[in-house]
C-alpha cells in the first residue's frame, strides 16, 4: 500500500489514539464481562459516545515532541523526554503505571534520566516506541539507541526493552516495505531482538497460531490468560502483533480482534492501533472512530501537525522544535478525565457481572 510518509506518521499517532480511546472503558475487564456490559460493535463509550486518551497516547506524543527537540543525540533526547515526564506527572494525569510513576518521582527528586528506571516488565516503553520505529525506519542503530533511551528512562528489564524494540522494529519494516511483512518474515526479524528462551518460545507460539489460522482469542488462551490480556509487556505486544498479522490491511478487524480479548485493552489497543495505522495511514482508520475522539488541547489536528513536522524533521539535521499547543488546559482536562474514569469504576460495581 503506497502512501506518502506523512500519511503513515499520522496513521501511527491517530491509530494509537483510537486504539487507546476505544479500549480504555473496558480496561481490566474479562472478555465475558465486556460482552455482558456492551452489546454490538466496538465504539467509543467513555463519555456520551465519545472517547478520550490515556497515558498510552500521551507517552507517544511526548516521545514525538522530544524527537523534534533532540533528533540526533539519544542522550539529549532522553534528557528532553525526562523533562516531559516530569511535567506530565505534575499535570495530574488520569492514568499512570506504577513503574512510570516511581520513575517520574525519582526524576523530580533529582535522579538523572540514566538512573531513574525501576525494575519492571511493564508495557510502558512498548506503548510509546512505534513512533521511534517510524522516525528511524532507515537507521537501525539509531532506532535501537533511541528506543533503549526511552525505555530505560522508566523501566529496567529485558522484557520491557524487548517489547519496545519489537514494536519499533515492526513499524520500521512497514515503513521500509510499504506493507506489513508476512508473519514468517516479521517473526524472523523479531527473533534477533533477544535470545531469551521466553521470547523465543512466545514467538514460536505466535507463529504456530497464525499458521493454524487461529483467532487472536485462541492465541490468548494458549498463554493461559482467561481473564484477558495481562499488563506484562511480552503478552501485550505479542497479542497486538498477532491481531495485526491476522488482519494485515484491515484496521477495524485488527482492533476488534485484540480488544475482544479483554484485560489491558487500552494498551493492547494503542499498540495494535499504531501498527495497523502505520499500514493503512490515516485514511484507513474508520472515520467514525476518528470523529469520536473528544480531545483538546491535544486534538486530532495537533496530532496531524505533529506528523507533518516529524516528516519535515527527517529531512534536516537542525531540530525543528516541538509543536505548540495550549498546555494550560491540560490540568482541567485531566481533572475532568479523572472524574469520568471514576464514574466508570463505580458503574462496574453493578450488574451485569
Q: Residue 94: which pLDDT band, with cuts at 50, 70 and 90?
A: confident
* Integer-rounded Cα radius of gyration of the chain: 18
Judge whether residue 46 has pLDDT over 80: yes
Alpha-carbon dihedral angle through residues 253, 255, 261, 262, given to the nearest 10 degrees: -150
Q: What would the pLDDT profile of 264-291 be if each residue is shown by its tens digit?
A: 999 999 999 999 999 999 999 999 999 9
Which secondary structure element, helix H or strand E, spans residue 301, and what is its range?
helix 300-314
Q: What is the pLDDT of residues 299-312, one digit of tens each?
A: 999 999 999 999 99
What pLDDT, on a 0 to 100 scale, did the predictor assign at position 95? 82
- What is the distance between the alpha carbons of residues 144 and 10, in angstroms, rounded to a whole number? 22
For the cut 90, the answer to whether the pLDDT of residue 40 exceeds it is no
pLDDT surpassing 80 at residue 1: no
Q: What is the pLDDT of residues 6-37, one digit of tens each?
A: 999 999 999 999 999 999 999 999 999 999 99
Average pLDDT, whole number, for the chain? 96
Instruction: Indicate the pLDDT class of residue 210, thresholds 50, 70 and 90.
Output: very high
Confidence band of 341 (pLDDT split at 50, 70, 90): very high
d(CA 294, CA 275): 22
Q: Please write the tens of the pLDDT for every residue from 111-129.
A: 999 999 999 999 999 999 9
Contacts of 77 (CB under 8 A, 6+ apart): 66, 67, 69, 70, 71, 146, 149, 150
Tell me what pLDDT residue 146 has.
Answer: 98
Predicted structure pTM score? 0.98
Q: What are the helix and strand counts (H, E) for the chain?
A: 18, 2
Amino acid at each position: 500500500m503506497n502512501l506518502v510518509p506523512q500519511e503513515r506518521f499520522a496513521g501511527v499517532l491517530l491509530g494509537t489514539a483510537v486504539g487507546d480511546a476505544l479500549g480504555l472503558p473496558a480496561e481490566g475487564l474479562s472478555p465475558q464481562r465486556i460482552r455482558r456490559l456492551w452489546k454490538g460493535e466496538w465504539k467509543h463509550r467513555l463519555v456520551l459516545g465519545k472517547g478520550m486518551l490515556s497515558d498510552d497516547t500521551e507517552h507517544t506524543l511526548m516521545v514525538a515532541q522530544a524527537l523534534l527537540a533532540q533528533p540526533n543525540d539519544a542522550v539529549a533526547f532522553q534528557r528532553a523526554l525526562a523533562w516531559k515526564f516530569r511535567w506530565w506527572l505534575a499535570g495530574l494525569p488520569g492514568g499512570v503505571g506504577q513503574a512510570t510513576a516511581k520513575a517520574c518521582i525519582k526524576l523530580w527528586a533529582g535522579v538523572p534520566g540514566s538512573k531513574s528506571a525501576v525494575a519492571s516488565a511493564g508495557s510502558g516503553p512498548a506503548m510509546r516506541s512505534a513512533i521511534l520505529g517510524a522516525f528511524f525506519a532507515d537507521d537501525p542503530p539509531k532506532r535501537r539507541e533511541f528506543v533503549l533511551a526511552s525505555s530505560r528512562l522508566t523501566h529496567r528489564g529485558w522484557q520491557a526493552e524487548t517489547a519496545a524494540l519489537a514494536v519499533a522494529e515492526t513499524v520500521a519494516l512497514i515503513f521500509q516495505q510499504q506493507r506489513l511483512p508476512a508473519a514468517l518474515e516479521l517473526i524472523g526479524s523479531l527473533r534477533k531482538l533477544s535470545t531469551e528462551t521466553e521470547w523465543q518460545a512466545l514467538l514460536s507460539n505466535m507463529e504456530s497460531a497464525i499458521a493454524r489460522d487461529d483467532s487472536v482469542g485462541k492465541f490468548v488462551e494458549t498463554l493461559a490468560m482467561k481473564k484477558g490480556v495481562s499488563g506484562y509487556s511480552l503478552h501485550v505486544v505479542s497479542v497486538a502483533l498477532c491481531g495485526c498479522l491476522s488482519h494485515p490491511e484491515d484496521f477495524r478487524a485488527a482492533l476488534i480482534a485484540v480488544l475482544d480479548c479483554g484485560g489491558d485493552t487500552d494498551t493492547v489497543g494503542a499498540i495494535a492501533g499504531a501498527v495497523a495505522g502505520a499500514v493503512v495511514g490515516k485514511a484507513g482508520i474508520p472515520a467514525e472512530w476518528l470523529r469520536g475522539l473528544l480531545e483538546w488541547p491535544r486534538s486530532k489536528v495537533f496530532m496531524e501537525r505533529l506528523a507533518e513536522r516529524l516528516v519535515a524533521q527527517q529531512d534536516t539535521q537542525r531540530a525543528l522544535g516541538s509543536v505548540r499547543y495550549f498546555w494550560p488546559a491540560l490540568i482541567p482536562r485531566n481533572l475532568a478525565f479523572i472524574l469520568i474514569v471514576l464514574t466508570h469504576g463505580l458503574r462496574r460495581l453493578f450488574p451485569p457481572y
